[in-house]
Amino acid sequence: MRMQKGRVKRVKKIEEGLLVYCLALAAILAFWFLAGRPQSLPEPEVARDQRLQSVSYTPFIGAQSPFDFAKGLTISDERLDQDLALLSRRFSGLRTYSTTGLGSLPDLAEKHGMQLLLGAWVSSDAATTAQELLDVVALAQKNPAVIRAVVVGNETLLRREITGSQLAAYIRQVKAALPGVPVTYADVWEFWLRHPEVAEAVDFVTIHILPYWEDEPVGIEEAMAHVQRIRAEVAGKIPGKEILIGETGWPSQGRMRERALPSPENQARFLRGFIALAEQEQWQYNLIEAFDQPWKRIKEGAVGGYWGLYTTDRQDKNLLTGEVNKLGNWQLLAALSAAIALCALLVTPRPAGMGGKRLAQFTAGLAAGAVLLVLQGRQFAIISLGLADHLWAGLVLGAAAGVYLLSLRAIAGGGSLRYASLDTALDFLRGKAACNPETLGGLLRLTVTACALIAAAGLLFDGRYRNFLNAGFAIPALAYLLWGIKGQRRDAAGMLEKLVSLLLATAAVAILSLETWHNWQAVIWYAICLLLAWPLWREGRHASLRPLLPQALLLFIVYGLLFLVRHKIFVAEELVAVCAETPERLICQTRALLGKLMYFGIFGWSAIGLTLLSLWRNGTFLTLLALCAALASLLFYNAGVGAVAFVLALISLAHGRQRHG
C-alpha cells in the first residue's frame, strides 16, 4: 500500500511537471513570437535599383580596429575589392576617414564606378597629422578622376584636439597642394557655428546631424523635422557655402537616450525617411555607415558598433526594403528560454500536489525567469567587448540565475527565501562566519546588491555610453520584493542594509532625472532600484549611519575638489586654444597629465588596487584612499573600474564601522 501511494505521488508529480512545462513553454513561445515578428513601416521603401549618393566606409571586420595598424594589420586589396563590389550595387560614392591602409582604394573605386570623399585624419599628434595630409594629397593627385572632395579632419574640434585656426591652416595647406579639388572639414553642426574661421577656409561645409547623439536626443518620430531644421539653420548662418550632410543615420542596438531608441526598426525608419526627404529637397548627403564597426564600442559604448546598413560580416540588414525583423532569429531565443525553463524545472525540488494557486505562481515564475535570462544574455552578447565585460556578464547572469532557482524552490515548497544579513555575508567571505544556507543566501543577495550599485554608479557617472541591465536585475528585484520581506533569518540587519538602500534609491532618482520620463528603459531601471531598495530599507531602517558621517564629509570635500579640477582644467573649453599656443604653462601641463592618467586608466586601476588592499587589511585609512581614487576614476572617465572600486570600498567601510563601531 505504501509503495502504491509513493508510485501515485510520483506519477502525479510527473503529470504536474508536464503541465507546468507545457504552460510555461506556451507562454515562452508566445512572447518570442510576438516580440520577433517582422514589422512593416510607414516610411516608403527605397527601390532596390536606386543608387544612393554616399556611405561612410571603414574596412574593419569583427574585432579589427584602426589601432591594429600599429600591430601590423594590413587590409588586402582583395578585401577592399569585395567590399566595393558589394557597396557599389547600392551607392555611387564612399566617404573615408583616414588614408592608413587604404592606398589602393582610389584605383578600386574607379574600377567599380564610385566617387570618393577622401578623408585625412587630423588629431593633436602633429607628426601623424602631417603624414596624413601628405598621403591624402598624394592619393588625390594620383587619382583625380574619382576624388569628389578631400575631407581634412573629422570631428577634431568636437574632440577639442586642435584649435579652429590650426584646422583652418591645415585646410589651406591641402587646398594649395590640390588646386581644383574641393576641400572641406566634417563635424557636428554646432561646431561649424562656433568656428566661423573654419567655414571661411573650406570650399563647402560638411555637417553631421545625428538625432540620437544630440545633447537633447530626438526621437524617431521627430527625427526628420529635426534634420530639416538643423540643415536650414546652418545654411542660414553660413550663407554662400554648399552644404553636405556628411553623417546621418540611426543605430540598430544600444541604450535608449530620452525618446531616442536604437533598434533595427527605428534604423530602417530613419534611413527610409531621410532618403526620401533628401531626394525631395535635392540635398547632398552621406549615410553612416556601410558596415557595423564593433571596435567603436570602446569609445562610444555598445551603440557605437551598430550604425551599419550591413553587419560586420557583410550581411545585409534589409533596412531599406521590406519588413524589418527586430530580433533576428527569435526561434533560437525561444529555444534557449525553453531549455532554461526545462533545466530549472528538473533541478527544483517540488512536492506533489502544489495546489492551483501555487502551481500558477510556479509556472509564471518559471516562464518569466527563463525569458528574462535570455533577454539579458542577448543584451550582453551585443554590448560585451572584452574579458572584463564577459566576466561582468557572467556575474550578473549567475546572480540572477541563482535568485531564479531559489525563488522557484521557495514557491514550490510554500516557504520563502532564506538569507543572512549583508554583514554576515561579508564575515563569511573573511572567514568569520559559518557556511550554511542562510549565509549562502546572504552572499547571493550581497552579490546582487553590489552589482546593482555598480551598474547604477556607471549609469550615473558615464550614462551616455552604458546600457540599462533591466532584464537581469528584474529577477532579483521582484524576488526580494515578494519573498525578501518574509525571509527567515537568524541575525539582524544593520547599517549596510540601510546605506545600500539609500544609495540605490538616490541613484535611481538621479538617473531618472537625467534621462527623463520619456526614456522607458530608465523608468524600468528606476523601478528596479526602488524594488531592490525597499526590503533593505525595511530591514535596516533602525540602524544608525552616524558612524559614517566623518568619512562621508571627507568624500564630499574630495568630490568637490575633483569636480572643480575636471571642469576648470580638464574639460575647460577656454583652455583648448591657450594650451595649443603655450603648452608649457603649468595649467596646460596639468591638463596633459590628467589626460594621460585618464587614457591609460591609472585612476581606475589605482582605485582597484587600493580597494583590494583595503579589503585584505581591513583598514579605514586604506579604504578612504580607495574611495578617493575611485571618485577620481568616476569623474575622469574610468567609470567602469571606478564604479567597481567605489562600491566595494564603500561596502567594506560600512562593514568595518558596523563591526568596530
Q: How far apart are CA 473 and CA 399, in angstroms?
A: 9
What does each C-alpha distance from 64 to 73, 83, 118, 298, 653 come to in angstroms? 8, 15, 21, 12, 42
**Angle 620-635/437-462 helices, nearest 10 degrees?**
40
Residue 487 has pLDDT above 60, yes or no: no
pLDDT tens-place string over residues 1-48: 555 555 655 666 677 778 889 999 999 999 999 999 898 999 999 998
The CA distances from residue 552 to 332, 548, 555, 597, in Å, are 49, 6, 5, 26
Stretch among 114-128, 149-163, 317-331, 502-516 having the lowest mean pLDDT: 317-331
Cell numbers describing residue 461: 557617472
Could you tell me the pTM of the whole model? 0.92
150-158 mean pLDDT: 96
pLDDT by residue (tens digit) across 604-652? 888 889 888 887 776 788 889 999 999 999 998 888 899 999 999 999 8
Measured at the CA of 115, the angle between CA 113 and CA 120, to 5 degrees, comes to 140
Residue type, 214: E
Q: Which residue is it, cell 519588413?
A: 323
What is the mean pLDDT of the segment spanning 458-463? Answer: 92
Length of the chain: 661
Hey, what's the cell of 356?
492551483
Cβ contact 417:479 at 8 Å: yes
Domain map of the chain by residue range?
16-30+328-540, 55-251+265-305, 547-660
**Dihedral pair phi/psi, residue 419, rounded to 5°:** -155, 150
Strands of 183-188's sheet in order across: 55-56, 93-95, 115-120, 147-154, 183-188, 205-208, 243-247, 284-285
CA pair distance 49, 224, nearest whole angstrom: 24
pLDDT digits (tens, 9 = 90+) for 513-560: 999 999 999 999 999 999 999 999 988 888 888 889 999 999 999 999
Query: Which phi-psi region, left, alpha or beta, contains residue 314 (left: φ > 0; alpha: ψ -120 to 50)?
Result: left
Closest CA to 279 of 94, 55, 53: 53
The predicted model gives 112-126 an average pLDDT of 95
pLDDT at residue number 549: 92
- Is residue 599 scored above 90 in pLDDT? no
As a whole number of angstroms, the distance between CA 658 and CA 164 comes to: 56
pLDDT digits (tens, 9 = 90+) for 575-595: 877 887 788 888 888 888 888
- Supply the CATH classification number for the domain 55-251+265-305: 3.20.20.80
Instruction: Give the C-alpha separation, 632 to 639, whole Å.
Output: 9
